[in-house]
Amino acid sequence: MIGWFFALAFVTILSYLSDVGILPFMQNLKVPFFNASILSILILLCMLGVLLRLLYMAKKGEKEILRKRINELEKQLKTHQEKEE
């Protein structure tokens, strides 16, 4: 996640420098079919990467919670079965 942060920060700084006029050649680079500067597309791609990583980690976290709950229920079942015997 820190890698995505640094990539996004770098592209955002480049975009700012381009908007201020320090890097005017960056505004002239356009992406075909989108009519947007290359920096805008890079920022969009970085944000999509962050979103996908966030969704993946959330799904992984849900699986961990479910695994813990299954283990707890299995322990409860074992203790219940031992009491019945």
Question: Is the Cβ–Cβ distance between 21 and 56 less than 8 Å?
Answer: no
CA distance 13 to 18: 8
> What residue ranges do the domains of the chain occupy?
2-84
pLDDT tens, position by position, 42-53 = 888 888 888 898
State both tokens at 11.
Answer: 């592209």
> What is the pTM for the complete model shown?
0.58
Rounded to 10°, the helix 38-84/2-20 angle is 160
Which pLDDT score is estimated for 1? 67
pLDDT, tens only, 62-74: 888 888 999 999 9
CA distance 66 to 85: 29
